[in-house]
Structure 1
């Protein structure tokens, strides 16, 4: 197979095959040729963060054993509520996820793992297994695959600069020297591409906040569509890389829903589309079709419950009420940034041809059409506190409901912003989010996608954090509000 000479993944170039075809023997070969001396097994814990188990390379046989068999870990230290008497679980490497880790004392081969119980079956409450079950259930019911990607927003926090100081709320796609943190952003871009995380672009976001002793400058990374299981992994990797690069530059990165008493917070908008045999099934020659509307109806019908996965801290709900473009109403619209679901602008053949010809008079270059139509549906619910695997799994469950419910098209019509109706609103607190999840838990527990014990744990956590917040005073009080923001500063 011929590998694209512009392929950014060094292991793909070295091995001459796509990452989906990687084997343990391939990875041993890569370690040997690159003279690596360490392998890191990675997994996503119950807190949604990336964990690490580091192995020295002792011999070829030892390396092959690690890359094939994986290791045992203490599940009770990874997942809350796990019985310590029977907590040993297996982590097994997924070879297709291997990448070169540019951080640490020495370059290493890193690989993401999946969890299995003592009998060798997928661990029910492991994050990657939940989103996999959700995706498989959708495909089984509909014959379609849900692809998704995130718009990951974050702030870089540093001392104020005297030269070209930031201008508040003027950061959108700003360039240097007015843009701060551009080098961090570009290094993140390069590392993620080399790890096999497909990206669309990165840019400065609106949020510029200037305070007496610090400046907070917002950035965004937008990824490329991938099956939901991979899309979740990509977001976890992206957050890890942002933090690593920022730390190396001596600045702080935060994905918090709110970062200040003023200015925009950090959202995590998720774009998605349905694909069958490589073709998008949510559009036809007239644009968004009935399948696309059924997908939207599924998201809207489950929206309140989805906040339990996508908005997990009290400042999430302050962001809903504060933000000019943060959604509150459960509705949707075409290119409407006030709705919970937005259908963004997409290119069509005739329009694109005319634009390219106008921009390039006399040009004769070929207009490349993407393999899959680029139209997506954007769910604008999540923020930086989201448990991304659970959010994407929840979206897959909601999509399945929308595609199989005979009333979906009627619901989509009723919840369109074009009708200007009064719409239901999203939960206003962690407690209300828990109530919504509890009311809808049967949908998420169907097909054994979400374990009942996990739903119980999420409900308890949301209600506990809400109770603690109420006990400490109202978030409308300025002092308490700032304390609340700082407490939930490093989320996700």
Structure 2
């Protein structure tokens, strides 16, 4: 009961049950007893943004009808690859995602939705359904349960004010040395109230002033949950941060690169696999064969994963040569220069709390907290599609009997930011990731059979993604940039994508 009482989700508190157990009758009771006037159906479509349609609550029967059967929408206006002559879709609410809208002036409940076709089947090409198919296939083949979570980086842009700056590096800066901690803390609170499992937030490295405008980078990190829920909470978090930007009269952006010579923003994705509640990534403090195979499978497909992880030309400015962003296909332990990093973990041989606090004696095994981090994605990604693509990589590695050996070949202990993809001993030269949307399209074409296997990604989605990436025609963008970064075309390009995602 205490977990319910302490849950920040207002619907969970009121209904006295976990969100996963919400029913239609629960939502109707909450809406009627709390005198909610508006119900918003929310969904994520092709561009990864949270969209909505609004319903006025006019009575019990009307409310029961829309919650039971959803609403009909124009699929061709939501997905560009659907033809107008056969595009009607049903938009159906997922009750467990319901939350009280924290910004609405009229009391409103918002619910995330899924798409269904005229036959009552999940819309094959909708992002959340592609992720669901990938997750089901992973479980069928492995019997393991996946969890995922994101790290969301963003910039707050405001008019420059008098602020005491301790240094140009803003990592973990606190008031009074940061201007936008209040916005971040409020975002954490509201994300949790809307069902997100937030762990913590902090100021990030990026902070600078240019032409009277102050730029400040922050990050919010989530807890590992079901992959679909992990994607849900990322899109809700981005919406909440942008709404708070309006409230505080600042701009919030998730653009991968905001200025050429300043830190870019990523969206790192962590994952773990469990069997019967036990973390399968680590055993007795060592990585398991399962974790090695999962990493090897993802790394083998890494050049093609950029098609989902880095979807606009600005993405590739973040990882251009000379920037401290992972750009080579490899993994390492506690190594932030590699594409996949195994973060420092916990085990019961290190009773940290007791070491610092002498009154504590217990040794607790926190190995369940061990995750593995993919560091290449950025805010341009549609998290549902990218998470599904990662899962395809996991399946690829776990089904390959040679993947443990491949993992060894991908291992790197060097600082690649200094050695530029080559180990200090010269033993390994790691493959570099694509440097443009155009190159990513070529890699997706090369590896497309992996993503289309088991009908996880429809051919139409792969075709559409390839054509969209090729249309940017950006294969010469980086080489044409001026070293100083004072390039008018570049600044215009950044301006075009500032609010793209």
Q: Same fold (TM over 0.5)?
A: yes
C-alpha spacing 1:358/1:449, structure 2 compared with 1 (3 Å)? same
User: Does the 8 A contact of 2:349 with 2:363 survive in 1?
Assistant: no
Correspondence 1:145-184 to 2 at 5 A: 145-165=145-165, 167-168=167-168, 170-184=169-183
Correspondence 1:1-40 to 2 at 5 A: 3-40=3-40
Matching residue of 2:419? none
> Helix, strand or coil for the counterpart of 1:321?
coil
1:411 aligns to 2:406 (yes or no): yes
Pairwise CA distance, 1:470: 5.2
User: Does the 8 A contact of 1:209 with 1:262 survive in 2?
Assistant: no
What is the CA–CA distance in structure 2 between the aligned matches of 1:308 and 1:67, rounded to whole Å?
36
What is the CA–CA distance in structure 1 between the aligned matches of 2:60 and 2:286, rounded to whole Å?
54
Partner residue of 1:377 out of 372, 376, 397: 372
C-alpha spacing 1:368/1:97, structure 2 compared with 1 (3 Å)? farther
User: Does the 8 A contact of 1:42 with 1:112 survive in 2?
Assistant: yes
User: Does the 8 A contact of 2:165 with 2:177 survive in 1?
Assistant: yes
> Helix, strand or coil for the counterpart of 1:226?
coil
User: Does the 8 A contact of 2:320 with 2:478 survive in 1?
Assistant: no
Matching residue of 1:485? 494
> Helix, strand or coil for the counterpart of 2:128?
helix
Matching residue of 2:255? 256
What is the CA–CA distance in structure 2 between the aligned matches of 1:240 and 1:97, rounded to whole Å?
15
Task: Structure 1: state its 5+ residue gaps.
Answer: none
What is the CA–CA distance in structure 2 between the aligned matches of 1:367 and 1:13, rounded to whole Å?
33
Pairwise CA distance, 1:67: 1.4
Pairwise CA distance, 1:166: 7.3
User: Does the 8 A contact of 1:255 with 1:266 survive in 2?
Assistant: yes
Matching residue of 1:474? 480
1:357 aligns to 2:364 (yes or no): no
Partner residue of 1:430 out of 427, 434, 437: 437
> Helix, strand or coil for the counterpart of 1:414?
helix
User: Does the 8 A contact of 2:4 with 2:18 survive in 1?
Assistant: no
Matching residue of 2:59? 59
> Helix, strand or coil for the counterpart of 1:51?
strand
Pairwise CA distance, 1:163: 3.4
What is the CA–CA distance in structure 1 between the aligned matches of 2:259 and 2:477, rounded to whole Å?
22
> Helix, strand or coil for the counterpart of 1:89?
strand
Pairwise CA distance, 1:228: 1.1
1:400 aligns to 2:384 (yes or no): no
What is the CA–CA distance in structure 2 between the aligned matches of 1:154 and 1:241, rounded to whole Å?
12
Moved over 3 A (4+): 1-4, 366-370, 469-473
What is the CA–CA distance in structure 1 between the aligned matches of 2:240 and 2:254, rounded to whole Å?
13
Pairwise CA distance, 1:68: 1.6
User: Does the 8 A contact of 2:170 with 2:204 survive in 1?
Assistant: yes
Count of residue pairs brought into register by the alignment: 486
Q: Normalization by structure 1: what TM-score?
A: 0.95
Matching residue of 1:445? 452
Pairwise CA distance, 1:276: 1.7
What is the CA–CA distance in structure 1 between the aligned matches of 2:356 and 2:71, rounded to whole Å?
56
User: Does the 8 A contact of 2:165 with 2:178 survive in 1?
Assistant: no
User: Does the 8 A contact of 1:474 with 1:480 survive in 2?
Assistant: no
> Helix, strand or coil for the counterpart of 2:211?
coil
Question: Which moves more between the two structures, 215-224 or 139-148?
Answer: 139-148
C-alpha spacing 1:471/1:417, structure 2 compared with 1 (3 Å)? closer
C-alpha spacing 1:360/1:41, structure 2 compared with 1 (3 Å)? same
Question: Which moves more between the two structures, 321-330 or 226-235?
Answer: 321-330
What is the CA–CA distance in structure 2 between the aligned matches of 1:101 and 1:287, rounded to whole Å?
44
Pairwise CA distance, 1:491: 3.1
Pairwise CA distance, 1:322: 5.2
What is the CA–CA distance in structure 2 between the aligned matches of 1:225 and 1:136, rounded to whole Å?
18
Could you list the per-position Cα deviations for residues 154-188 of structure 1 after superposition, in whole angstroms to 9, with x for gaps in the alignment? Answer: 000001112325742x2111000111111110110
What is the CA–CA distance in structure 2 between the aligned matches of 1:393 and 1:22, rounded to whole Å?
26
What is the CA–CA distance in structure 2 between the aligned matches of 1:97 and 1:249, rounded to whole Å?
27
